[in-house]
Amino acid sequence: MIFPDEYKHVGVTKFFCPDTEEPIYFLTDYLITEKESPQTGGCEYAVYYVRKNGEGLLRKVETLKTIASGEEVVKYDRELNIKDRTLLIETAEKLCTGKVNTVIFTGMDKHVTFVHAPDLASILELEILDVAPPYPSWLSLVVRRLEASGIFGDLQVRFTEKVIDLRRFEGKNTVFPCSASGLKGKCLDSDVLTENGHLLVGCEISKTLFEMRFPELEYSFINICPFKSEIVVPSKSFITRCCRSENSGLVNISGFDGAVVHWGASEYQVAEAIRKLVNRLRKNE
């Protein structure tokens, strides 16, 4: 796949001839030429890799290497956010059928880039690992809102969700950590327990609180902390949360690299954690 890191490295011209002595702008590593097709009456495109030499803003073209031309190239008919690399790769892959192997995109700011031989495998998949209710889960809501803002556009990532529904444990003898969840059962922050045989669904902090409040009671326990849980387990590289701030950072759980944020993390902290995780994963590729 060829996908320029920045659109500032892509030049576009309607007048450039491969045999010309005309100089080229010093940032231009790729050149898109556009000319009218006598057969169709529309535009025909060619995409070149540019090798240049010299100094200054305008430099001499040493060689032009054709990447794609003619029927191999199509121009997408709508403006997109061309900083969203995942969007462009996925869109180009759908359009590359038959002879087409290259798609030119125009941004909402009128800048231009292209994707040649799009490769979906180049998109990094990250799992949002969380528990619910509420729905959507807090972490899913934050990540999807950040994703929609375009803040992850340059990372070339795609998010999937693995959200564990705690409603399966609801019941009169089940104890949850907090009444804010809306789960049906008893809650550590609002109920007084007097009988044995309850099921506590929570983390190590919940377990400690239970035993401090009700030291005489016998109970069973389902751990939902991603570090120790048998049900909240990642299946790929992931972003998750923990109530212990000291656990925040880059981690490895069940053989998968991931990032952990505190339950009270801000959007900025979530975005920063994902960016650090992606940087680690890219270095390991």
Token pair of 92 as six digits: 């180009």
- Please name the residue that has the structure tokens 């701030």: 245
161 and 285, same structural domain? yes
Residue 187 lies in a domain: yes
Asked if residue 174 lies in contact with residue 224, where contact means CB atoms within 8 angstroms, the answer is no
Q: To the nearest 10°, report the CA torsion of 82, 87, 90, 94.
A: -70
Angle, in degrees to the nearest 10, between helices 267-284 and 138-149: 80
In this predicted structure, what is the pLDDT of residue 16?
A: 67
DSSP 2: B
| Long-range contacts of residues 174-181, Cβ cutoff 8 Å, at least 24 apart | 174/198, 174/199, 174/200, 174/201, 175/199, 175/200, 175/201, 175/202, 175/210, 175/219, 176/201, 176/202, 177/201, 177/202, 177/203, 177/205, 177/206, 177/209, 181/133, 181/134
Token pair of 82 as six digits: 């061309």
C-alpha angle 46/36/110, rounded to 5°?
Answer: 65
Domains held by the chain: number: 2
Token pair of 45 as six digits: 């495109």
Domain of residue 70, residue span: 7-119
Peptide bond into 118 cis (omega under 30): no
201 and 135, same structural domain? yes
Residue 38 to residue 15: CA distance in whole angstroms: 16
Strands (E), 81-232: 102-107, 112-116, 124-132, 157-165, 174-176, 186-187, 198-202, 219-223
Consecutive 10-residue runs of the chain (285 residues): their mean pLDDT? 96 77 90 82 89 92 93 96 97 97 96 98 97 93 96 97 96 91 89 94 94 96 95 97 94 97 95 98 89
82 and 156, same structural domain? no
In this predicted structure, what is the pLDDT of residue 284?
A: 85
Residue 1 lies in a domain: no
Which of 75, 92, 119 is the endpoint of a domain? 119
The SS3 call for residue 177 is coil
In this predicted structure, what is the pLDDT of residue 191?
A: 87
Q: How many other C-beta atoms lie within 10 A of the C-beta of residue 91?
A: 18
Residue 156 to residue 123: CA distance in whole angstroms: 5
267 and 235, same structural domain? yes
Which of 78, 99, 119 is the endpoint of a domain? 119
Residue 47 lies in a domain: yes
233 and 157, same structural domain? yes
In this predicted structure, what is the pLDDT of residue 189?
A: 87
In this predicted structure, what is the pLDDT of residue 117?
A: 98
278 and 157, same structural domain? yes
Token pair of 20 as six digits: 């010309």
In this predicted structure, what is the pLDDT of residue 15?
A: 75
61 and 167, same structural domain? no
In this predicted structure, what is the pLDDT of residue 70?
A: 93
Alpha-carbon Rg for the chain, nearest whole angstrom, is 27
Residue 109 to residue 87: CA distance in whole angstroms: 16
* Ramachandran area for residue 206 (φ above 0: left; ψ -120 to 50: alpha; else beta): alpha
Residue 2 lies in a domain: no
